[in-house]
Chains A and B, each alone.
Chain A
């Protein structure tokens, strides 16, 4: 496999642009009894999930419940303390797996390359992997920027962007990869309502037209309940519930009801209970 890839990269003729959904198989993710500890602190306990190919799977949960850590394990950036993750049966930490399925992660903080312009941030993946000619890459990058209304920022540096713009560049950079598995860490947290809706539409379109599997970590209840096939709720590193949006709405667990519909109660404020 390695040899094969290298040879391919050395051909002077650029690789044909990979059209997603045609050359690549839909990707399923299996998380088996996954646990993660940092030193003495246990962050994730015994998580088991099976995400079907082409599914939109949302993970919700309070801040600090381990959502970002779970995404890092699925993306193969960190090794779990126990258990395992498999992408169509393959280890996500293996470069071959990444090469075969193209796994993109939209980082919570963007993780844009600070020394590169917005254009170069997006063009890096296709350039490094020799996907298409320069003109084709330019088209691909400009299309992604247009979808996220970023045409004005093409030549800017990440340090010159607002928080929401950074997030959108991060999403555009993931789209340019034309991945089969897209992991979003709070894609709409810094965006205005219209942009958030656009992101929801993008995720749904990728699923419908290209069978892209999406795992979305989000606090955005509307987004989660409209586009998801299933929603998992993570609390204190444990899987508290797993159901489709309709099932989640009917859920009567007090913790979940309070999490999904927190009412501002001035007569009996939460912070007083917490301090007590």
Chain B
């Protein structure tokens, strides 16, 4: 019973925090600098790892598809499979997982230590709402870099697939043919759905990170716990939301 009330308290806190942060949206021009800073930390610096990971996801996907489809003589579908899987599912999900591991953990650690060392209290006495000063820039930054990172991840994943198709002997599909097949069934709607997913994941992950961080009480040990919690909750949220969003968007 106590457990359940804690969960609802936590969820309620997160919703209230998001609400308070967005009520301060009219003041967005004032936090421009901090938002750009966060976008740089969260988005730009995630580029190398997103690129490397996406490349290999695309490559492995193409390789597995190659093994699976060669028996049916349906190798020309590899491009379609890799293309669709990345756009609809793997692109947004893997980028969100990376953001949870790389960005959410850092956000939680920073906000939790600000809370524990009374910096948040200092903000409150100065009448600077933490929702505006700390939460909103991070949420806005996530909304900016998530679609960009996802798009880049998808394209590099496609390229990974192309490289495998071109150089792995038993597949042997030329890049032109491969990209033809990638494009064949791709529509703007599918791409849009993928990016919407990415936006929702990014928003939820950073909101969880901020909420867990600012709710921390205690000392250095609790900061560590908060980071663990934040990453675990984020992963759970990504994978469970994925199901419902996919269902709602109809693919």
Prevailing SS type, chain A contact patch:
mixed
Determine whether the beta carbon of B125 is less than 8 Å from that of A103.
Answer: yes
Closest to B26 in A: A6
Q: Count of A residues near B, CB < 8 Å?
A: 24
Q: Which chain B residues (128-169) contact chain A, with CB distance < 8 Å?
A: 128-129, 133
Q: Which residue from A10, A114, A129 sits with its C-beta under 8 Å from B117?
A: A114
Determine whether the beta carbon of B117 is less than 8 Å from that of A95.
Answer: no
Closest to A98 in B: B127
Q: Note all chain A residues with C-beta closer than 8 A to B114.
A: 113-114
Q: Note all chain A residues with C-beta closer than 8 A to B118.
A: 107, 109, 111
Closest beta carbon of chain B to A220's beta carbon, Å: 22
Determine whether the beta carbon of B126 is less than 8 Å from that of A111.
Answer: no
What's the count of A-B pairs with C-beta under 8 Å? Answer: 51
Closest beta carbon of chain A to B95's beta carbon, Å: 26
Determine whether the beta carbon of A111 is less than 8 Å from that of B119.
Answer: yes
Q: Note all chain A residues with C-beta closer than 8 A to B129.
A: 95
Q: Which residue from A77, A109, A124, A177 sits with its C-beta under 8 Å from B124?
A: A77
A104 at the interface (CB under 8 A from B): yes
Determine whether the beta carbon of A111 is less than 8 Å from that of B122.
Answer: yes
Given the interface contacts A111-B117, A113-B119, does A128 sit within 8 Å of B125 by beta carbon?
no
A125 at the interface (CB under 8 A from B): yes
Closest beta carbon of chain B to A177's beta carbon, Å: 7
Give CA–CA (A114, B123) in the complex, Å: 12
Q: Mark A1-19, 1 if CB is under 8 A from B, else 0.
A: 0000010011000000000
Given the interface contacts A6-B26, A113-B119, does A77 sit within 8 Å of B128 by beta carbon?
no
Q: Which residue from A10, A77, A95 sits with its C-beta under 8 Å from B127?
A: A95
Q: Note all chain A residues with C-beta closer than 8 A to B26.
A: 6, 10
A75 at the interface (CB under 8 A from B): yes
Q: Which residues of A contact B (CB under 8 A)?
A: 6, 9-10, 72, 75, 77, 95, 98-99, 103-105, 107, 109, 111-115, 124-125, 128-129, 177
Q: Which residues of B contact A (CB under 8 A)?
A: 26-27, 30, 110, 113-114, 117-119, 121-122, 124-129, 133
Chosen A-B contacts, 29 in total, with CB atoms closer than 8 Å, are: A6-B27, A9-B27, A10-B26, A77-B124, A95-B127, A95-B129, A98-B125, A98-B127, A103-B125, A104-B125, A104-B126, A105-B121, A105-B125, A107-B118, A107-B121, A107-B122, A111-B117, A111-B118, A111-B121, A111-B122, A113-B114, A114-B113, A114-B114, A114-B117, A114-B119, A115-B110, A124-B128, A128-B126, A128-B128
